Structure formats: C-alpha cells, structure tokens
Structure 1
Amino acid sequence: MEQQFIDTNRRYVGLKENIIFGVANGGQVLSFSLLVSYLTYFYVNIFNIDPKIVATMLFLEGIWDTINDPLMGSVVDRTRTRLGKLRPYLLGVPLPMALATIFFFAGPMFLHNPSPTAPSKVIYMVITYFTWEFLYTMSDVPFWGMAAAISPSPADRTRAITSARLISGIIGGIPTIIIPILIDLTESNVIGTSIKQVFFVAGITSGIIGMVLFFLSGVFVKERVVQSVEAPKLKGCYECITQNPPLKLIILQNLLGSLGGIGGIFATYYFIDVLGSASAAIVIGIPGAIVSLFSFAFITKIKARFNNKQIVIGSKLVNDALNVLMFLLSIKRYADIRFMIPVMMIRSTITAIFSGVNAVVPTEMIADSVDYMEWTTGQRSEGMSFSVLTLINKLNGAISRSVAALLISGIGYKTSHSDAIIPQTDEVKFRIFAMNTIVPTLLGLFSIIPIFFYDLVGDKQQRMLSDLAKRREMLAEDAEN
C-alpha cells in the first residue's frame, strides 16, 4: 500500500501571525536576556553578594526547577478552556512578570549594607529570583507549547519558530548592546549615574516593554492542533518523558552540555576585567550579528539537505573546533585588545553561519517529540514536553551560573562594595580567559554523544506524520458529532 504523507505545502499560519509570534517572543526575551546575561555580575559586582551564596542559591533554584517546570507542564496539559489550553497563561502572566523583573533589579537601590553576607540582601535575592523564575516558567511553557499547537504542518512550525527566534534575537539582543556601552560610560564618568541606577532603569524598561509585546501572543496567536476532549491524567503527563526516547535523548544531550555554559558568564568578566572594555563585545559581535540575520534565510535550504540530527552534530563540531583554535592562537596575547578583537570577530562570524538552524532545530526537535508521544500513546503533551525545554534551559543556566559563581572566588577574583570594577592580577585575567574559551569547550564535549542515537528523522518521521494526519481527521469528525 502506498504511504500517504502530510501536505507540508499547505499553510495554516499567515505572515501576520508569524510576525506577532516572533515579536511576542522578542518581548519575553528582552527581559530574559537582560537578567540572564548579567545575573552573576549583577549579584556579585553590583549587589555585592558573596559568590558562594549566589552559587548556593542558583543551585537550589535549579533543584526547585526540576519539580516546578514539569509540574507546570502537567497543569498546562490538563487545562481545557474556551480559549484553549495555552492562551490563558499567555494572557495572564505578562503583568506579574513585568513587576517581578522590576523588583529583581531594585534591590541595590535601597539595600545598602556593605556586607556580602547581609541577611537582608540574601533574603531579597532569593525571594525576587525565585518569583521571577516561577513566573518565567508560567510564560515559557505555554508559549513554546504553542510552537507545536500552532499548526499540524512541520513546515508551518519551522516558519513560526524561525520567526520567533529571528525576531527575538533582534529584540532580545538590545540589552547586550546598550548595557556594555552604559557600563563603560559610567565607569569613565561620561554620564552622571551609577551602575546600580543603569540596571534599575534597564529593568523597568525591559519589564514593561517586554511584557506588553509578550501579551500579543495571547491575543493574536491561535491553537490549531485538535486536542482530545478528555484532559490527560497526571501520570500520563509525566509518561511523556519516561516513554519518549527522542525527548530523553534531548534532555541528556543538554544536561551533558550544561557546564559548557560557563563560557558565556565569564565573557562579561573577560571584556570588562581583561580587555578593559565592555563595549568591545559589541564591536566583535557586529559581523556575526549581520551573518546571523541572513542565516535564517537559508534554514529551508539547509534542512532540505540535512536532517536535524546531522545539523546538531555538525554545528557542535565546528563550534568546538573554533574555540580550541582561538585559545591556542591567543594564549600569549589574550589581554591584547587589538589582537583579540579581530580573532574573536572571525570566530563569532563563522559560528553565526549556524545560528539560524541552531536557534530553530532544537525547538523543532521538541515539537517532533510531542508528535511522537501523540503517535505512540494518543495523547499530546505540549505543556509537559515544552516544560522540559524550559527546564533544560533553566537547569543548564542554574548549573553553569552556580559553578561560575563558585569559580569566580576560586580563581582569586576580587570584588568591592564601593566599586563594581577593580583591577585584577595577571593570573586571574588568564584564568578568566580560559574559563571563557577552552574550559567550557572541554566540559561540554560529551553532549554530542546522545544525538548519535536520535532517530526521529527521515522515513520514520514521515510515517509518524502521515499516521497523525489520519488520526486528527477522525478526532475532528468525532468532535463535530
């Protein structure tokens, strides 16, 4: 019997909805980018909290996420309302999320105790960070669940995810451009303000603007994949992980690569304390940013030639090779800004070639795992599956940031209550350079192994999509009757 395939050419999602989906994600990432890009630096250098306490808090929050995120996913999967199961959260979370972002950055403005172990500062840090993370989970799980529910067509999903990643990359990149410039201007006394005030105003701006944009997803984006009328049982929600081999491999891959995330955290310290210019990161990133934007235009062509498994493996190998090469070339000139800017510029430009597919493919693979669960059990689990995506990202961040916070004091880094930036020794500067380049590369090396066993590609994926298309037609007919 001839195999029937799903019509991947049919478009369920229009251009306007794709753009709104992307803009909404950009709003969410605006505050997320500000917070996670400078979290360790903000707590250690600006709020002046002991790095060991910061590391402990981040570790405990990561443990909490292993409970909170899947629980939120199961709640979403069991939601049945006239608005759908995802949109109610997209409409309700933005306001409290905006307030949480503002309060997160407000601490140094009124808590002035110079002690890095002051209970008032530690308690404030724990309450505001846990609150922000909880609300972020409530926004992120249903939003990315929408990436699977927005259309039954893989081509539609690719376009929606591409729009989200592309536009959020532009909007979410704004803090990483503005903040380094403001740090340099503040430290050189060009503007009459403090770094504490810079981050507080940035928190207010990103919190309000970001969540207004994110609110658009709840208003304009539609859920189109037909759901079963009966809400799944809680046990069934958790089985989407235990009985989902593709999803388990994705989880394992990300956990093995979590320690590699310390490189991004030490990048802030490298530019400020080693090169002496936070703004150097902007100059280095300009060619890569341009290439990154164009890379999204080639996603369809790349995916036509390579499957998701091949793309993940190939981009990982290229990125690791470039990091090792840069470390070897720069080992004696790592503090020479005139040498390092072109070297890092070339590295970031080459890696930017893969930024489009790297932004889209991992989310696609989660969406495919949702289809796989429906194919094998009859239940869709956007909430639980994409809570895993949120959990992976947050757990990776918690592990890398907590380890980085410990390493900051471990490598001999010095801090001061009165000044966010103080001179470091040459030994400390080299350790910062290593933590930004070779160390995270070596720590994340084994993350590629699980993907070699990922098989939800090619004929198997097409067979799954064909079976699901028939089943959804039957569900639609049953719903009408």
Structure 2
Amino acid sequence: MANCISEKNAEKKYVSKKELVNFLAGLSGQNLVYSLIGGSFFTYFMTDIALFPAITVSVLLIVMKVWDGINDPVVGSFIDRHTFKSGEKLRPFLKYTPLPVGVFTVLLFLVFSTNENLLWLRVSYFIIMYICWDLAYTVQDVSVWGITAAVSPNSSERDRFVQWSRTIGSMVYSAFSTVIPMALEMIANAKGMSMSLVTLVFAIIFGLGGSMLSYRCSYARERIAVNKDEQQETLRESFLLLFKNKMLLLVTLSNLFGSFGFGISLVTYFFKYEIPSDFLGNGIIGALGLTTIYFIITGLPGFIGMLFADWMKKRLGGYVNVLILIQVFNIVARAIAFFVGFEGKRLWISMIIIGIGSIPSGASSIAQTSIFCDSIDYMEWKTGKRTEGITFSMQTSFTKISSGITSGLATLALHLLGYKAIDNATNYLGTQTAAFDSWIWPLVVLTPAVASVLFIIPLLFVNYTKEKRALVESDLNARRNGLAESGESPYAENRQKD
C-alpha cells in the first residue's frame, strides 16, 4: 500500500508554471542583491573604494564570518521552532524581509569618508551595517531555500524545482556579479565620477530594486505540513538534530575545504598590477573590466553543466558523484593553465582551458541543494522532525563563512606579499613588491585546484543510494497518509514500541 501511495505522489504534479515563474523572478531579485556582496567585488570595494587597509579587511572578514557562524544557525533554529497562524513556517518571512534587506544593502555601500584618522568610525559603521544586513538577508535566504524542500512531496518534481531555481539564480548572480564591476568602472572612467558615488547608485538600483523584486518568492507554497507535536522545541535540540545529519555535515565540510581556493579573490589584483593597462587597446576597460572578461570566459561554460545536471546524475549514479567529477575537471584544467602561463596571448589560452574545465561546475549548486533536500527528508524519516530552517541556515552560514575564509585568506596573502593599494597611476606594472609579482599567478590559478582536492575527501564518505532515497520517500508518503511503513525507520520502530 505504501508503494502505491508513493507511486501516486510521484505521478501527481503540485507546482504550477505560474508559481514557478513567480518564484524564479523573486529569486532573480535576491541574486541581484547578492551579486554586489557575494563576489570578489566586495573585497575590492573594501580595499580600493572604501580604502580600508588590507590587514583591516582581513580582520573584518573574519569577524563578519564569525558573526555568520553564530547568527545563521540561530535564525534557522528559530524558523524551525516557529509556525505562523496559517500553519506555515517559511513563506511569511518571504513577505517581510525584502524591504530591510534592500535598505541595509544601500547603507552598507555608503562611503561617507576615506579619512585615515576616522578609520575606527568607518569600521564601526561598516560592521553595524553588515550585521543588520546579514540578519535580514539570512532570514530571507534560509526561507527561500527552505521552501524548495516543501513545495512538493514528490521528490522528482522537487528536484526539477531545485534545478530551475539554482539554474536561474546562478545565471543571474554570475551575470551581474561579473558585469556590475565592469559597468561601474566604465561609467566612472567615462564620466569622471568617483567610484564610491557610482557604487552607491548601483547599490540603490540593484540592491534596493532587487530586494523589492525578491518579494515574488512568497508566491511559492508550502505543501508539506508541519507536525507541531514533533517539531524541536529548543535551540539545543535543533543543534543535536543538525549533528545527526551526516550527509549535510560531510557536504558542508567539503564546502569549507573549498574555501581554501582563495586565488579567485585575487583575480582583480592580478589584472591591475601584472597586465598592461592597454592590454585591450583602450583605457576605459581596466582591471575590473578584465576581471569581468576573465569570469565570463572561465565561468560561462558552467551553464552547460546546469542544463545537463539531471543527465549527469543519472549517468554517474547520483549527485555526490557529480560533485566529485566537477572537482576532477577543475584540478586538471588549472594544472594545465598554470604551466601555459599568462605572458602575451598565453593568457587567453589559459583562460579558455580553465573555462573548459568549468563546464560541469554549473551542476554544483543544483547537486548540493538536492542533497540538502534529501537530508531533510532523511531526518524526518529517521526522527519525525523536519529541519528546513537549521539545514539551509547551515548551508547559508557555511557559504558565507567559506566566502569569508576565501576573502580573508586572499587579503592576508596580499598583506604578506607587501601589497599596498595604488590609485590614479598611469602605469601599475612594477608598482608592487617582487614577492607579489612572483606569487600572484600561482595563487590565482593553483589554490582553487588544491581546494578541489580537499573538497573530494569528505564526499567519499557519503552513502545515500537511490534505493535508500526511494525507501525514505515511500515511508514518508505512507506516514503522511496514515499507512504502514516498511519498519526500517528508527522513528517508526519507536512509535511501534510506544
């Protein structure tokens, strides 16, 4: 009987096209906001626009990510323990968070002074604005991705919803996080405007505007009802459940190892100080523009991987193996690119090689979100408790912690290499230290390859087969319909004893 229910659920479609389109529009808006903060431009903004010293930026990033490590799981636990009168625990947050996210995004990019004597005041203001922004954004982000696990009891339909969401979200983020810095720099150079003023205008357009668009995420519906009697009651219980989720912890550890590829945050510095300003034959496109071109060439092929994510999952026997394949491609491509070098036209060849190696990488976010959704079902099957909030807050937390480690290590490397920001020079070549000139290329190209090696190790210990997934889905469908389960779940065994 349980199998019959599972098959009926597998056939039934719950999510309408209108609901999906609205959610994707809202998700696009959210990624417009994050494109200002999540990429390497944010570090460049801190060092070369807000003019914070490199060592100060390194400390700031560490402090900010320690806050993330504390804040995100607490927010996730609160979401899991709180249910609105409507019976929902995620969707209402998608209505209330867009406005504060937009306002604090604008305030975060407000540079009111670059006076070195006011460094303490500037740093204090920046930290306060970041904490406010991060709190609002975390509530929204956890709710956005948490609802992907609750839009349908049909795991196949949920996978498709996740694939669309991650594909569109990644496309918007990748496009705008690469184009915005280039457009910002070109406008500032062409109009003779200060970078800080143009940055603030962009924050209003993409930060506040994007957050208003993100309201449309609230059109998604929660279709897996929350059993209030079974939900965790305390923060401690939420954390205990978190540490029982082996699948989540292993993938999270992989992401943490991936943060050691800090060379990705040094690309702009490489182009500014190692590549001639007339490399493209004009003075309008500078280091930020070249960085944009670099990320287009090395990142755009990844969209092919997004389109074939489901195909790779079926061919390789699951999304864990897809993640391993992505890292292998990255290791090989970057090793080849390093030996090709960057002198003259070799730079174009190296970028193309890295781009070819990134083809499967577009499936990464799809694979990880699908694995996290599976882990939520597995924890419900095992304990009777759903953990969307704490699970996706863990993902959000470690995504931000990882980006903080990446940026922190990058700015620490700049400090150790004797880097000092230089502005308004006619020629930047030779203005940095000999150590900087010697090490910047290896750091840019090889640290992501080393990170990929480390990324693979925890994945080797994930053991969630397609047979196990089918059993979990079948038992959960039976449980929700009041039917007999297979009896293999610890939760079902305990209920029988009671």
Output the TM-score relative to the length of structure 1. 0.90
Partner of 2:378: 372
Contact 1:147 1:160 in 2 (8 A): yes
Following the alignment from structure 2 to structure 1, what is the Cα–Cα distance between the partners of residues 455 and 302?
23
Stretches of structure 1 lacking an aligned partner (at least 5 in a row): 476-481
Q: Give the alignment partner of residue 320 of structure 1, picking from 328, 331, 334.
A: 331
Partner of 1:112: 114
Partner of 1:340: 347
Partner of 1:354: 360
User: Which digits, 9 at most, give the CA deviation of each residue in 1:71-113, with x for residues without a partner?
Assistant: 1011000121134100121111110110111011112xx2131
1:437 partner letter? V
Contact 1:165 1:360 in 2 (8 A): yes
Partner of 2:256: 255
Aligned-residue sequence identity (percent) comes to 29
Greater CA deviation, 421-430 or 63-72? 421-430
* CA apart distance, 1:335: 4.6
Partner of 2:148: 147
Q: Give the alignment partner of residue 31 of structure 2, picking from 4, 29, 46.
A: 29
Equivalent residue runs for 1:194-209 within 5 Å: 194-209=194-209
Equivalent residue runs for 1:401-420 within 5 Å: 401-416=407-422
Partner of 2:460: 452
Determine helix, strand or coil for the equivalent of 1:415.
coil
Following the alignment from structure 2 to structure 1, what is the Cα–Cα distance between the partners of residues 355 and 306?
16
Following the alignment from structure 1 to structure 2, what is the Cα–Cα distance between the partners of residues 302 and 438?
26
Following the alignment from structure 1 to structure 2, what is the Cα–Cα distance between the partners of residues 443 and 346?
18
Determine helix, strand or coil for the equivalent of 1:354.
helix
* CA apart distance, 1:383: 0.3
Task: Pick closer, same or farther for the CA change 1:174–1:430 going to 2, 3 Å.
Answer: same
Superposed structure 1 runs of 4+ greater than 6 Å apart:
417-421
* CA apart distance, 1:279: 2.1
Task: Pick closer, same or farther for the CA change 1:290–1:449 going to 2, 3 Å.
Answer: closer
Contact 2:337 2:353 in 1 (8 A): no
Following the alignment from structure 1 to structure 2, what is the Cα–Cα distance between the partners of residues 45 and 24?
32
* CA apart distance, 1:67: 1.7
What is the aligned length? 463
2:441 partner letter? F
Equivalent residue runs for 1:59-458 within 5 Å: 59-83=62-86, 84-107=88-111, 110-115=112-117, 118-172=119-173, 173-184=175-186, 186=188, 189-218=189-218, 220-230=219-229, 231-234=231-234, 235-260=236-261, 262-275=262-275, 276=277, 277=286, 278-286=288-296, 291-306=301-316, 307-330=318-341, 334-336=342-344, 338-351=345-358, 353-416=359-422, 422-423=428-429, 424-425=431-432, 427-458=435-466
User: Which digits, 9 at most, give the CA deviation of each residue in 1:114-155, with x for residues without a partner?
Assistant: 45x721111122112222222221111111101101111222
User: Which digits, 9 at most, give the CA deviation of each residue in 1:338-382, with x for residues without a partner?
Assistant: 32123203321441x213321200011111111111010000010
* CA apart distance, 1:444: 4.6
**What do you get for the CA RMSD once the two structures are aligned?**
2.4
Task: Pick closer, same or farther for the CA change 1:290–1:52 going to 2, 3 Å.
Answer: closer
Following the alignment from structure 2 to structure 1, what is the Cα–Cα distance between the partners of residues 300 and 455?
28
Task: Pick closer, same or farther for the CA change 1:327–1:310 going to 2, 3 Å.
Answer: same
Contact 2:372 2:391 in 1 (8 A): yes
Partner of 1:11: 13
Following the alignment from structure 1 to structure 2, what is the Cα–Cα distance between the partners of residues 174 and 65?
24
Contact 2:98 2:211 in 1 (8 A): yes
Output the TM-score relative to the length of structure 2. 0.87
Following the alignment from structure 2 to structure 1, what is the Cα–Cα distance between the partners of residues 361 and 394?
22
Task: Pick closer, same or farther for the CA change 1:345–1:282 going to 2, 3 Å.
Answer: farther
Determine helix, strand or coil for the equivalent of 2:394.
helix
Greater CA deviation, 25-34 or 163-172? 163-172
